[in-house]
Structure 1
């Protein structure tokens, strides 16, 4: 058994691109995968000038990783008058769903699909409640947890930022594995689009 720490943000396109690699870790019974959400964007209106940068970056991610950025998502970024990105509410959703037994990977992946494929506004509570219901979460309790108690998510983000500062983690996604010599950075970006080789790479640590 090995322990791997995943530093990510739900609004990070490269984290979405890394989904197949993260899935392989989440499904590996010999890997204890710990998720650390960074809180990259706090309910921010995305300027029209910056949207072109986002779409250009998404094209690069899609070419390298093979992950789809669907037409509905692109159209929303291009055409919607007010596009708001928010890491905090989705992280609250991930923390709240975990309290009901849904893994962080499962909720994160569902949020990413909703954002990058369906083009839905994951900065809105109604969208996240719909996702939770589809995952089998008690929607009423889920909604209460998000609205009434933001503290667990804020504590989670603060802890992630402290770890990032201590371990010199500067961007998302970052994967660190615990070894006898301390923390070692995994070269995940060498394996985009090649899950089999990624699995072989991870198996070398087992």
Structure 2
């Protein structure tokens, strides 16, 4: 049993990273038997790993059609952006705990950098700095759900590298009023693009089919 759980934890980590890296597009089907072959394991650890991801909202179980990366509707995507914004603003209001150890500064040289990964790291740091586990956990889950969306819509936001650099600068200097204002602007830009993002995701799924 320990071997099964150990293998399941490994598969969980690999699939979670694959989701963040954009290997699976929103709406794409995930084949458990293919993963079992890829990781040279039996179906049981794969199922355990995938249903753990279902529980976290990173994979959707559509019963007859199987497991898929969630494809959000306009309402659901707008709600997810709003939820992330509210969580980050709450973290700003709580402030940085005295025991928090800051991480290294984000290095954003150009739009060619992995802005999806850097965005995840910055938002995670803002929440982690509060040392409130529940808030940090909520931001991590929202971050994970948004990661494939961020990667799929890459290119829709102009000057995204400059935008992220500004957010990081406000965070590093602890200019919380400016950070909160920039976070509102950041999410408002994306909420306005929700119809375009959802249409883009639907087009990609049609292509995959």
TM range (shorter): under 0.3
The TM-score normalised by the length of structure 2 is 0.26
> Structure with the greater relative contact order (CA < 8 A, sep ≥ 6): 1 or 2?
1
Q: Which structure would you say has the larger Rg?
A: 2
The TM-score normalised by the length of structure 1 is 0.26
Q: Which has the higher strand share?
A: 1
Q: Which has the higher helix share?
A: 2
